[in-house]
Amino acid sequence: MRMEQKIYSPKANEILDVAEAHMRMGGFDAISFRDLASAVGVKSASVHYHFPQKTDLGKAVVARYRERVVAALGDPQDARTPIAKLKLLCAVYSAALSDGDSVCLCCVLGAEARYLPPDVAAEVRLFFETMTNWTRDALAAGLSKTKAADAATHIIGALQGAMVLSVALGDDNHLKNTQKTLMRFVKKDLAD
Amino acid sequence: MRMEQKIYSPKANEILDVAEAHMRMGGFDAISFRDLASAVGVKSASVHYHFPQKTDLGKAVVARYRERVVAALGDPQDARTPIAKLKLLCAVYSAALSDGDSVCLCCVLGAEARYLPPDVAAEVRLFFETMTNWTRDALAAGLSKTKAADAATHIIGALQGAMVLSVALGDDNHLKNTQKTLMRFVKKDLAD
DNA sequence: ATTTATCTATCTACTGATAGGTAGATAGAT
DNA sequence: ATCTATCTACCTATCAGTAGATAGATAAAT
């Protein structure tokens, strides 16, 4: 699946930055053209110039987010050990949580997937497919195919859920605890 | 923590039913007084009669939801085995997912906790505290105190996250898979 | 008489979206 | 070098629709 990365003007990127921050706090409905505009110092019509419809904006935010995460994770099939890759995955999630005190973008949007415009929901789905596939491939060196796939969805789900707990309870030890537990279990599985 | 259960009129309960269904799809912003009113056959002013502010409505929906789940789970310290209790916990989550194709209410609201009115966020926090405490107590018979607490947050987080995956990917096998994996790991831990 | 549950009517604020205009930069033709 | 056309990135002004919320009337039940 080739994913050509769109290039945005500096102002469009500014808009995407603010939109992402807002969406990570309150979901798709938490952004409005007026708020975004005033946050970046233009009028709402100018935001429409860069992103004609709200759906376009939502799609762009999610796509850019996914590409950023993918770039941070690197190739799941390179020479690193499965444990090293898993540690990196956890680090990426921790960074997402501590970044502006906000939860993973797709954690918020995933929960309200059925409420989103179909195009935006499709981008969110692609994010989760990408993440679970990456994790499955990262574990492929040490586990059977089906075991790696099962572990992958468990790991991604657990990390997402731990973020919800951390944000809802206002205590990011939940994410750290889950990461510790996950590492322990995966090490056990790899030893089998 | 004593929690006196509020009694609502039939119409108020109807409103709460519709509000819960909408919120489980799209979060707190997904409900509007007009929509709720027309869904139950009254005018929006009448909804304000039952729930003066939107915050009151949100609090009531979450509180009622929590009380229902607590009732379904029963006493975490009764004679059942930890495994039996965990199975019930998974069943409750599966029911929530299949119920109207919607995700756990607090999964949606938890993700946007920082965006919610403080009173509503507090109810969501109480839900998660209740759930993790229940799970911790349910495991207390077979695990050390700290191990039970760590396992509890991992389990609740993993179940929440699996629901997000199931909804976002449109495939509820993810929840089933996570439940299987969780059971396997807890059994291993109990055997230690 | 008071309470309960509804109504009509209305308010202000905000939503996404569009039409139409403008200043400045760029590119090609003369 | 200059004229022309196009493009970029914004603007003002406005629209219809919806948001939460309130005042005040009504009718029935206690």
Helices B82-98 & B145-169 angle (0-180, nearest 10): 20
Residue A82 φ/ψ, nearest 5 degrees: -55, -40
The CA distance from A110 to the nearest CA of chain B, in Å, is 5
CA distance A26 to A56: 18
CA distances from A124 to A78, A110, B167 (A): 26, 6, 11
DSSP labels, A109-141: HHHTGGGS-HHHHHHHHHHHHHHHHHHHHHHTT
Each residue's pLDDT tens digit, A171-186: 888 999 999 999 998 9
Q: Which nucleotides of C are covered by protein (CB under 7 A)?
A: 4-9, 14-20
State residue A43's pLDDT score: 95
Question: Taking 90 as the threshold, does the pLDDT of residue A36 lie above it?
Answer: yes
Q: Which nucleotides of D are covered by protein (CB under 7 A)?
A: 8-13, 18-24
Q: Is residue A117 part of a domain?
A: yes
State residue A142's pLDDT score: 87
| Residue B192 pLDDT grade (very low, low, confident, very high; cuts 50, 70, 90) | confident
Residues 6 or more apart in contact with residue B16 via CB below 8 angstroms: B8, B57, B60, B61, B64
Q: Is residue B42 part of a domain?
A: no
**Contact present, B156 and B125 (Cβ < 8 Å):** no
State residue B13's pLDDT score: 97
Token pair 């952004």 is found at: A31
- Strand C: protein residues, Cβ closer than 7 A: A 31-35, 44-45, 48, 52-55; B 9, 11, 37, 41-46, 49-50
State residue B100's pLDDT score: 62
Q: Do B180 and A150 touch (CB under 8 A)?
A: yes
Q: Which domain holds residue A110?
A: 61-191
Q: Do A107 and B164 touch (CB under 8 A)?
A: yes
Burial letters B133-144, b for 16+ CB under 10 A, else e: ebbbbbbbebbe
Q: Is residue B28 part of a domain?
A: no
**Contact present, B141 and B85 (Cβ < 8 Å):** no
Q: Is residue B150 part of a domain?
A: yes
The domain tally of chain A equals 1
Q: Is residue A161 part of a domain?
A: yes
| Residue B189 pLDDT grade (very low, low, confident, very high; cuts 50, 70, 90) | confident
Q: Do B113 and A168 touch (CB under 8 A)?
A: yes
Each residue's pLDDT tens digit, A45-54: 999 999 999 9
SS (H, E, C) B89-109: HHHHHHHHHHHHHCCCHHHHH
CATH number at residue B119: 1.10.357.10
